[in-house]
Amino acid sequence: MSQQRVHADRFLELAETHLLLDVRSPGEYEQAHIPTAKSLPLFSDAERSAIGTAYKHQSREAAIKMGLDAFGPKMRSMVEQVESLQARAPHFAGGDKTLLVHCWRGGMRSAAVAWLLELYGFPVVLLEGGYKAYRQWVISHWEDRSAYQILDGYTGAGKTEVLHELSSLGQPVLDLEHIAAHKGSAFGGLDGKPRPTQEMFENLLAEEMHRLRRQFGNKPIWIENESQRIGNLNIPIQLFRYWMESDLPAWFLDLPFDERLQKIVREYGSYSTTQLSEAVLRIKKRLGPLETKTTLAFLAEGKIPEAFGILLRYYDKHYGKTKALNRIQAAGLSTATLGQLLLKKSS
């Protein structure tokens, strides 16, 4: 039975309306995967390791036999798992039961699972070159040189909220902090949300860039002026340099210190003294011994505004060089008003 293979662009287009199955091991999937993929591992991590060792030190035939021993008892359960996944995915309903399948290189693992599923009656499409080819598709996005607009402003200016407002007004917005599940500063991870790995962050970023370009064409995408590092994750250096060093339109939200301090206290002041103190200690070398000691003392006394006043001055002092020539006087203006104002001035 001939198996249909397509390249990454077509495969991802099909993934919008078809169930996508990643047959790599659980560890490979956990490290990073195509965002819409469901895990259907042909081998466990231990089985994959043992088969790889056999291939390297014995022979290809010995490895295949080990693989068949592991695959055989799983056949029925894999088919039933796929049936269950399709039943729980209403947007895949409608009569077309075509499945998308991939492994690491598009080799024996995906071919074996495709054979089983086709034998059972499912049409199957394979990813040419496997996940490795998908990663090349992801990396190709770092050379994107299309239109962007940068939203700038000191810490606490409400840049993220304004980006969300622009999105609600129908503008293309690439929310880097949302993709990273981190708000950027030493305090950005206090919400306890799980963070993607670097590789998964890159996958999510490329897919969102691709989606925005498909939906909005060449319309400028709004992004926030970030440092290259968001929590433990890094914006790909090619993209970062283009966004922050090229001559792209940029807008600076000029909000007075006191208003920014109020925003920061509202956003972070409800966290426990222990959580806030631990975040302060993460930047103690840069903050300095005296400022660190004073900030921790204010936190211990429950003087949250005083503590965040020190921290906000620290972030202002170490803020990266702004590229924005267009300043928006934001004092007293609501997020909705700022969104409308930016939309008018940038058009």
Give the Cα separation of 115 and 197 in Å (integer): 32
Token pair belonging to 158: 């409400």
- Sequence-separated (6 or more) residues with CB below 8 Å from residue 285: none
Q: Which residue has the tokens 């198996």?
A: 3
Active site residues: 103
The answer to whether 99 and 82 are in contact (CB under 8 A) is yes
Nearest one of 176, 41, 42, 18 to 96, comparing CA atoms: 18
Give the Cα separation of 291 and 318 in Å (integer): 14
Helical spans, DSSP H, in 58-99? 60-71, 75-87
Strand partners, 223: 150
Phi and psi of 194, rounded to 5°?
Answer: -65, 140
Residue 135 falls in which region: left (phi positive, over 0), alpha (psi -120 to 50) or beta: alpha
Nearest one of 131, 148, 111 to 2, comparing CA atoms: 111
Token pair belonging to 7: 């390249």
Residues in the chain: 347
Give the Cα separation of 6 and 129 in Å (integer): 9
Give the Cα separation of 158 and 165 in Å (integer): 11
Give the Cα separation of 40 and 263 in Å (integer): 45
CA distances from 331 to 51, 101, 166 (A): 64, 53, 19
